[in-house]
Amino acid sequence: MRQDPPRTSQRAAQRQAQVLLVEDDPELAEELAESVGSAGIAVTTVSNAADAIGLVERAEFEIIVTDIMLGEISGLELLRKLSKLGPGRRLRSIVLSGYSTVDHVLNALRLGVVDFLPKPVMSEELIDAIRRALAQGASNGGRELSRGDAAQLLLKARRKRDSIFGAELFEDPAWNIMLDLYSSTLHGRAVTVSDLCVASGTSATTALRRLSALADLGLIERIPDPHDRRRVLITQTGTGREAMDQFTEWLRTSVAEERRA
C-alpha cells in the first residue's frame, strides 16, 4: 500500500514544524492543516501511525494532534508508542474523537493528553487547543495532572457519551450536578440553580429534586446572589468540596502511578 508522504503547511516550510497532525481523512487533514497554518502555527500532516513515529524519531515536534481512530492502531496506542521513544522529548498531545468512553479518558490521562476535542472539530477549536498546549510548556508525560484537569476531562467524557448515546441512557443527574459545580468552583465561576438544571442532563423537576437531596445531605447549599437578589447561587459546602477533592485526588494519583509504572 502506498504511504502518503508527510505534508507541511506553506507557512511552516521555512521553519521548524511545531505541530504534527495525524489524520487518515485526507480532506479533513488538509482543511485543518490549512487553518492551523493560516493562524501562524507550523504544522506537518501524516495519514498513519507509522509515518508519525518515523517523523517524531527524526524531528522535534511540540504538539501532536491525532484522531483516536487511525485504522491500524488507535491514536492512544500511537501516543503510548511515542511515549517510549524517550522521556526527554517535549511532546504534548491533543486527541480528536468521534467516539470516546470513560476508559478512553482514563487511558488518555495516563498518557498525558492535554485536550480532547469531539469530532467534527471546528478549526478555531483546534487552534485554541494548540495554543493552550503550547502555553503550558510541559512535556507530554511530565506535567502533573491537577484536580481541575481530572474534572474537566470527566466532564468532556460525559458530554461526549451523552452526544452519542443520549443523556437518558446513562442518566445520573446528581453526579452531573456535583461534577459541574466542582469544575465551576475550581475555575471561580458562579453557578445558578438554572445552570445546574441544564448541567444535570434531565428535566428541571428531576434536577430540582436532586438539588434538594444534595442539600439535605449537606453537600451543597443555596445562597442569594449578592449582585442580583432575584437569583439564587449554588455552592458546595465544605463537606461537598472535600468529597470531590478526595475523588479527583484519587484519580490524579492513580494516573500519576500508572505513568510511573
Q: What's residue 134's pLDDT?
A: 81
The more confidently predicted of residues 256 and 96 is: 96
Give the C-alpha separation, 17 to 72, whole Å. 25
Give the C-alpha separation, 152 to 132, whole Å. 14
User: What average pLDDT score do residues 42-57 get?
Assistant: 91
Q: Which residues, listed in sequence order, are joined to residue 147 by a DSSP beta bridge?
A: none
Place of cell 448541567: 199
Give the C-alpha separation, 24 to 161, whole Å. 23
User: What average pLDDT score do residues 237-242 get?
Assistant: 90
Residue 231 has pLDDT above 90, yes or no: no
Decide: pTM greater than 0.75: no
Give tens-digit pLDDT for 64-75: 999 888 877 888
Q: Euclidean distance between the first and final Cα of the chain, in Å?
A: 37
C-alpha cell at 83: 511515549
The region that residue 94 occupies, defined by phi over 0 for left and psi between -120 and 50 for alpha, beta otherwise, is beta
Query: pLDDT band at residue 223, thresholds of 50, 70 and 90?
Result: very high
Give tens-digit pLDDT for 140-167: 444 555 666 767 777 776 666 666 556 6
Query: pLDDT band at residue 10, thresholds of 50, 70 and 90?
Result: very low
- Cis, peptide link before residue 120, omega less than 30° from 0: yes
Q: What's residue 141's pLDDT?
A: 44
Residue 8 has pLDDT above 90, yes or no: no
Query: pLDDT band at residue 175, thresholds of 50, 70 and 90?
Result: confident
Q: What's residue 165's pLDDT?
A: 55
Q: What's residue 80's pLDDT?
A: 87
Query: pLDDT band at residue 258, thresholds of 50, 70 and 90?
Result: low
Q: What's residue 15's pLDDT?
A: 43
Query: pLDDT band at residue 16, thresholds of 50, 70 and 90?
Result: very low
User: What average pLDDT score do residues 113-124 get?
Assistant: 82
Q: What's residue 228's pLDDT?
A: 84
Q: Residue 196's closest CA among 217, 216, 219, 173?
A: 173
All structural domains of the chain, each given as residue ranges with its CATH number in brackets, are 7-143 (3.40.50.2300), 153-256 (1.10.10.10)
In this structure, of 2-6, 198-202, 214-218, 232-236, the range with the lowest mean pLDDT score is 2-6
The more confidently predicted of residues 61 and 109 is: 61
